[in-house]
Amino acid sequence: MNIKISVIIPIYNMEKLLNRSLDSVMNQSYQNLEVIMVDDGSTDKSADICKEYAAKDPRFLYFYEENSGPSAARNLGLEKCTGNYIAFLDPDDYLHVDMYAQMLRALQETHDGMAICDYRVVYGDEPYDSEPAYTLQILNRRQAQTIYFEDTHSATVATVVWNKLIPASVMKKFRFPDSRMVGEDESVIYKVLYSFGQIVYVKAPYYNYFVCDGSIMNSRFNVKRFDLFKAYDERISFYIKHKEYDLCRKMFFLYIHMYCSFVELSKQTGEDYSGVYKKIFYREQKKYKKYKSVLQMNMNEKMELDLFNRYPSVYRRLWKVLNHNHH
């Protein structure tokens, strides 16, 4: 098969886990790959490891840039890659040996535009006890957006870049926001998904998402986390533009619930984020006033959003009580 997949890997100080990650690409049962390793100014032995792979396997290409974050590294990868499809891999994670073969198979069986697969969370080198069962679900444009709101696992499936096989002709139209350390996938992928009438979802966990203590999402609560709300903001505007009022309504609820949970999380740090919260709240309030009339809400939904926008502190107290009872 002469379909070439470009795998873009942004790398920053990953010497301990990088071999496992690169081996999992090198050993893919589907061999027609181009592996774009972008070293984001690493200060450990990551560069040496990348160069070793580039020396022993011509499919592995090494690029260096001054430290600018994962978004900039991925953007450089998008400029350099030449494959028919683009995939992404984070350097602390690793792939099932058949991941790309099975995703390509799914695309050929269904003739859909792009493929996504499931993932599993791993805490070490966890082998597969049995082969993941291969089942397919076809998602239309609306469903591909809606799974984001179902639960945490589905939200990750819908949001991240690393479990997707995207035609280069589409992916190259997009760029990740350089300035964001959190929510960079969140800022791009819903637009990529929206570019396709149908998407095939391979419901097998071919991607191993490694949880380690130092990652941004698992590190202590800090101001970078608020980048997420910029992505929410853009998403609301995008849905309005495309007259997806139901999705827009869902985004408003996600926005206000995340706002409350961020307020609670930040209290544990002892730092004062009130200025940041005001900004986030006023941004949401302005949007809500502007779009309220088109959101097609029922009475309860309207009451909830109105309460948040008029009396945020009252809403937060209620949210806290209901949330604790919920758990």
31 pLDDT above the threshold of 60: yes
pLDDT of residue 223: 78
Contact (CB, 8 A) for 87 and 7: yes
Burial class (CB in 10 A: 0-12, 13-18, 19+), 326: exposed
Sign of CA dihedral 98, 36, 164, 103: negative
Work out the pLDDT band at 219, boundaries 50, 70, 90.
Answer: low
120 pLDDT above the threshold of 70: yes
Q: What does the pLDDT look like over 32-79, one tens digit per residue?
A: 999 999 999 999 999 999 999 999 999 999 999 999 999 999 999 999
Domain that holds residue 304: 220-326
Of 169, 196, 217, the domain-final residue: 217
Report the number of secondary-structure helices (H) and strands (E) in the chain: 13, 9
| 224, 180: one domain | no
| 142, 34: one domain | yes
| 64, 52: one domain | yes
Q: What does the pLDDT look like over 158-202, one tens digit per residue?
A: 999 999 999 999 999 999 998 777 778 989 999 999 999 999 999
Q: What does the pLDDT look like over 237-288, one tens digit per residue?
A: 999 999 999 999 999 999 999 999 999 888 888 888 989 999 999 999 999 9
232 pLDDT above the threshold of 60: yes
| 101, 225: one domain | no
pLDDT of residue 216: 45
Question: 3-state class of 114 per DSSP?
Answer: strand
| 125, 237: one domain | no
Number of domains in the chain: 2
327 pLDDT above the threshold of 70: no
Of 217, 233, 268, the domain-final residue: 217
Alpha-carbon distance of 64 to 118, in angstroms, equals 31
Question: 3-state class of 91 per DSSP?
Answer: coil
Q: What percent of the chain has pLDDT over 70?
A: 96
DSSP label at residue 38? E
- Measured over all CA atoms, what is the biggest interatomic distance in the chain, rounded to whole angstroms? 64
Neighbours of 82 (CB within 10 A): 10
| 254, 320: one domain | yes
* Residue 70's CATH number: 3.90.550.10
Contact (CB, 8 A) for 72 and 65: yes
User: Amino acid identity of 321?
Assistant: V
| 13, 125: one domain | yes
Strand partners, 280: none
| 39, 15: one domain | yes
Work out the pLDDT band at 212, boundaries 50, 70, 90.
Answer: confident
What pTM did the predictor assign? 0.93
Of 217, 239, 268, the domain-final residue: 217
| 121, 185: one domain | yes
| 14, 95: one domain | yes
Task: Name the E strands within 45-155.
Answer: 60-64, 85-88, 94-95, 114-122, 136-140
Contact (CB, 8 A) for 39 and 64: yes
Mean of the per-residue pLDDT values of the chain? 93
| 193, 253: one domain | no
| 224, 201: one domain | no
